[in-house]
Amino acid sequence: MASLSTEKQYRAHPSLHDCPPNSHVFWYGPDQNSRRYGAHIFNPLHQRTFSTGSKYVTHHEGQWYSLQHTKGELFPYLGSLKPDIAQFDLVLEDNSNEYRETWEASQVPLVDSDQFESEESTEETEEK
């Protein structure tokens, strides 16, 4: 459970295997997003594009969180809890890393990285 304190819970840069398979979460490599490190991005429309409602996310202690990053800092940190993302979690027929990588590569084709918007703000906006 995340603390109510204002202290940031920093995380290492994400890797593909940090998050469980999810039909609405897509992996973007370091050259494919504005943060310049690999990241998982949730898209509520189940599309591999960065559009309204898309968020950088991570899976921590069995739960989904937004993954925030302050400009000028080296590492991202946990944002707000995002329990609604878990409804799209998948169970793959094979748990091996090789199968997961193949599954991820078979997802909807990646769009050009120039479609990404920069996340300059560190403030989160909660959607109702």
pLDDT along the chain (128 residues), means of 10: 72 92 91 90 88 92 96 94 96 87 74 43 41
pLDDT value for 126? 42
Closest Cα to residue 92, out of 79, 101, 83?
Answer: 101
The domain ranges of the chain are 16-112
pTM: 0.76
Q: Which amino acid is at 82?
A: K
